[in-house]
Chain A
Amino acid sequence: MLAYIIRRVGQSALVLLIVGLVAFSMFRFVGDPIDNMLGQERTVEDIERLRAQLGLDQPFVVQYYKFLEGAVQGNFGVSYRQGRPVAEILLERAPATLELAMVSGVLAILFGIALGVFTAIRRDGVFANVIMSASLIGVSLPTFLIGILLIYLFSVELGWLPSFGRGETVDLGGWSTGFLTESGLKALILPSITLGLYQMTLIMRLVRSEMLEVLRQDYIRFARARGLRDRAVNFRHALKNTMVPVITVIGLQLGAIIAFAIITETVFQWPGVGLLFINAIQFVDIPVMAAYLMLISVMFVGINLLVDILYFFIDPRLRADRSGGH
């Protein structure tokens, strides 16, 4: 098991090194950084000086090493567009995205599991069938159209909820939170539904099919024969055993939520990291793009690794299977 974990950590580190190489190459070769930093009036000496100062006269490998060293310390250079350190901008924007992702994640998990269990238990119920059909639409509607639809319903027609921005935020020592004001909470509702809906349907369908599979097993029939209550059978016996694949998917979807936040944030003009990234692409702000790439890869690779390792602790069967080879 230890060997497996070590190998997985090694693979993850390799992936991060490669992503770092991509990010660094973007820095180095897409557009000339010197061009971007010096204005029209520049002399050859200026260029030489800046080149030496930025270390661009050194060998490629040395530059790459320095880039990684900086990235590890949270130094991603200066944004071409805003003229401020990228790390500073990212830190400023991070709370908005994290709060949004957290709320949508919680919504998706709670409703996803609850609806999944419900539709599995009442397999032939009318309401369960309505939910299943609705979820099909939820999967095939593109995220941005869901956002627009919600804005149209709740902001334009009903006028209940704001259609853009975070509302008022409270600054808690560098972390600006929208949880503490009424307008902040109201502003969270539509974006978090938009962002969480896809993940919710995914979790729901997965829980449903896993539950149906488990409910067919002998031990469930035996539990019922023992006269246990429905609630105990459904939740203690059945739901518990569906959790391994569900936790995997939830783990992997966590990263996806942050990535898909790009779309939701653009629809709702939510001042988070995703909107920053889209603007960076529009204006070819390479340092911001590279930093976002690095950050999101660390997250994705980290989550993947964690999920893989978690398997061993959640499901004892895997430990027995895998200890031999693989």
Chain B
Amino acid sequence: MSDFPIPVKPKSRLRIALDSDLFYTFRRSPVAMVSAVVVLVLVLSAVLAPLIAPTNPFNPASLNLMNGFTPPMTPNAFTGESFFMGTDDQGRDVFSTILYGMRISLFVGVAAVFFAMVLGITLGLISGYVGGWTETIIMRTADVQLTFPSILVAMLIFGIAKGVTPVEYRDQMAIWVLILAIGLSDWVQFARVVRGATLVEKNKEYVQAARLIGRTPGAIMLRHILPNVLSPVLVIATISLALAIIAEATLSFLGVGAPPTQPSLGTLIRIGQGFLFSGEWWILLFPAVTLLALALSVNLLGDWLRDALNPRLR
């Protein structure tokens, strides 16, 4: 063995990412690329909403009731102002409400999935590594919860949490309650997958070695097992995100989610449905299409990721 390392120019991180198998399959899949672009555009416009949006729909000073019900791309009869996607009954620019609504939808979706992920991974790791009674209790609870549709579980949790919060805080807390409800209704999948992977990993030699040198169970779970069970988690998280966005929209549409003071896409669709019969189609159509584009592209991206990371999961 030579003592002199062959001088190789170290690859930059970007280079490594661009040379990876993952990026290769990504470039080979037009569906994935289009979905990624759509997701990117939507997420960016949601994050940058205050900069992009022509008006701030939650600032009453910027609203003019005379602008109410302006159809898209047509100047208003009284004020002469024109709006890209029209305005709603209060003269709010629909385009701006969608941008701000998407922020809420995305925030709730991402936070709920993150919460579900952390909870699921923790419980999955513990039940897989520790076993025994702990495992039985955790996994039985998961089984029971899985018998019920998750949207129903989310509704119940939302209802109970609403009952516990004092009346004057209910609207303020609604977003957090929503995150809690959707997150708690969705942890089971993560826990199941992580537990299954942990059961396999914990008998491998590197874990035995770690145990031998006296690392604590907590450290073994976090530093040794966790990194090796993460790739299926990533796939589930992406698909869960699409489901969480739809769950949030459904709850808000039903009136048990984001309040009218902080409307998400679902709340906007709920509001728009009221104008379906009077002919103001744009108040409903644009939020609905945005929701569909968002949910569908995240979903397709998740499908691609699943096939790319692990063809066996198919």
- Asked if B269 is at the interface of the complex by the 8 Å CB criterion, the answer is yes
Q: Which residue of A lies closest to B300 (CB)?
A: A140
**In the complex, chain B residues whose CB is within 8 Å of the CB of A232:** none
- A263 touching B277, Cβ below 8 Å: no
- A262 touching B155, Cβ below 8 Å: yes
- Asked if B283 is at the interface of the complex by the 8 Å CB criterion, the answer is no
Question: Which of A30, A148, A281, A284 has the most chain B CB atoms closer than 10 A to its own CB?
Answer: A281
Tell which of B144, B159, B250 touches A142, judged by Cβ atoms closer than 8 Å: B250
- Asked if A151 is at the interface of the complex by the 8 Å CB criterion, the answer is yes
Contact with B along A220-260 (1 / 0, CB 8 A): 00000000000000000000000000000000000010011
Q: Count contacts between A and B, CB distance < 8 Å.
A: 86
Which residues in window 241-291 of A have CB below 8 A to B?
256, 259-260, 262-263, 266-267, 277-278, 280-282, 284, 286, 289
- B162 touching A281, Cβ below 8 Å: yes
Q: How far is the CA of A278 from the CA of B250 in the complex (A)?
A: 12
- B160 touching A30, Cβ below 8 Å: yes
Which label, helix, strand, loop or mixed, suits the secondary structure of the A interface? helix
Interface size on A, residues (CB 8 A): 37
Tell which of A145, A284, A293, A304 touches B292, judged by Cβ atoms closer than 8 Å: A145
**In the complex, chain B residues whose CB is within 8 Å of the CB of A10:** none
Tell which of B147, B156, B159, B281 touches A300, judged by Cβ atoms closer than 8 Å: B147
**In the complex, chain A residues whose CB is within 8 Å of the CB of B149:** 256, 259-260
Q: How far is the CA of A260 from the CA of B149 in the complex (A)?
A: 8
**In the complex, chain A residues whose CB is within 8 Å of the CB of B255:** 266, 278, 282
Interface size on B, residues (CB 8 A): 33
**In the complex, chain A residues whose CB is within 8 Å of the CB of B164:** 30
- Asked if B158 is at the interface of the complex by the 8 Å CB criterion, the answer is yes
Given known contacts A140-B295, A256-B149, A263-B254, A293 and B163 CB-to-CB distance under 8 angstroms: no
- A263 touching B256, Cβ below 8 Å: no
**In the complex, chain B residues whose CB is within 8 Å of the CB of A13:** none
- Asked if B112 is at the interface of the complex by the 8 Å CB criterion, the answer is no
**In the complex, chain A residues whose CB is within 8 Å of the CB of B288:** 145, 148
Tell which of B155, B156, B159, B284 touches A148, judged by Cβ atoms closer than 8 Å: B284
- B159 touching A301, Cβ below 8 Å: no
- Asked if B139 is at the interface of the complex by the 8 Å CB criterion, the answer is no
Query: Which A residues contact B (CB, under 8 angstroms)?
Result: 15, 18, 26, 30-31, 140-145, 148, 151-152, 156, 163, 256, 259-260, 262-263, 266-267, 277-278, 280-282, 284, 286, 289, 293, 296-297, 300-301, 304
Query: Which B residues contact A (CB, under 8 angstroms)?
Result: 144, 147-149, 151-152, 155-156, 158-160, 162-164, 246, 249-250, 253-256, 269, 273, 276-277, 281, 284, 288, 291-292, 295-296, 299
